[in-house]
Structure 1
Amino acid sequence: MKPTLIYCVAASLDGYIARPDGSCDWLAGDDEAIACDGLLLGRATYDALSAHWSLPKKPTLLLTRHRPTHPPEQVRARHCTPSEALDELAALGCRRVRLLGGSSLAGNCSAAGLLDELVVRLMPHLLGAGVPLFAGGMERQLQLIDAYNLNGGSIHLHYRVLPEPQYVTE
């Protein structure tokens, strides 16, 4: 059984998660604690986070074609599909996996029907251009689970990704 996949990301009010050059220097505030057993992330997010943030001591799967030098011991680098990555994390006992950042990876997971939840910290900032919340993917309907104000004017939004609609043909 695949674990629940939760895409957790901070986004500007105009829907970007990073500047056009990939920088996130406009983000402020602490990362919210989302209950999870494991992490899934792409290489660009790993590179951005590893310089400024230590990854939690949880099983972490990094999807990349090029292995990083000296990754933390909990980080496994793989070149595989997101579905295969979730299978591997499930085999390690992960039931709730946090997908950290990564517009392309989030889009791929969405297109494959793997996303179960979306947690967005909506920041009171307009970037005007940059890396979108999702790159590609497909249309999905969401159901609001929770929403509340955070310090500094940010808003926490937690959604459940609804299954694809079933169309009846006659």
Structure 2
Amino acid sequence: DEVDPDFEDPKEIFSAHWDLGAARLVEKVPQERRIEMDPGLLRIAERGWKLTLAQHADAVDARVELGHKMNLFHETYDLLVTPAMPIPAFTVGQDLADQDSQNDWMDWSPFTYPFNLTGQPACVVPCGFTELGLPVGLQIVGPRYADPLVLQVASAFEEVHPFQMPEAANVTH
């Protein structure tokens, strides 16, 4: 069946947790060494330092609610299968899908981070290639604590659809 797990984009929920985590990480680095750190990580930490306790508490509550919605989803469906990414892979060394914008990695990876929030097992298996020869992944998501099921299904998929690494000369991107 093609179904929608029926939850709003949890980007703000994830961002609050991500930003606060980055802030805690950066705080452990001496001020004089932070110049050596990735500027993107420092920007994320800056956002984390600006979060209020109330904003963090709201994000925790929203995370619990998202987990509850996914628990209900899995009462009906054993697994959720999604693309790994909504866009093809981009050039090695490129951090953003569109280098000309300041988009966030969550903007181009909406299918993966929600399940980091809910604590659900997920596995990505290769399932083909784009017209340019770039790999495409299929994500298999299970209910909490169903890691063996997710891994069994991923293994079965790989048996039926074995991955064939393309010749390096055929990769044009």
**Shorter-chain TM-score category?**
under 0.3
TM-score (norm 2): 0.27
* Structure with greater helix share of residues: 2
Q: Which of the pair has more CA radius of gyration? A: 2
Highest RCO, 1 vs 2 (Cα 8 Å, sep ≥ 6): 1
Give TM-score, length-normalised by structure 1.
0.27
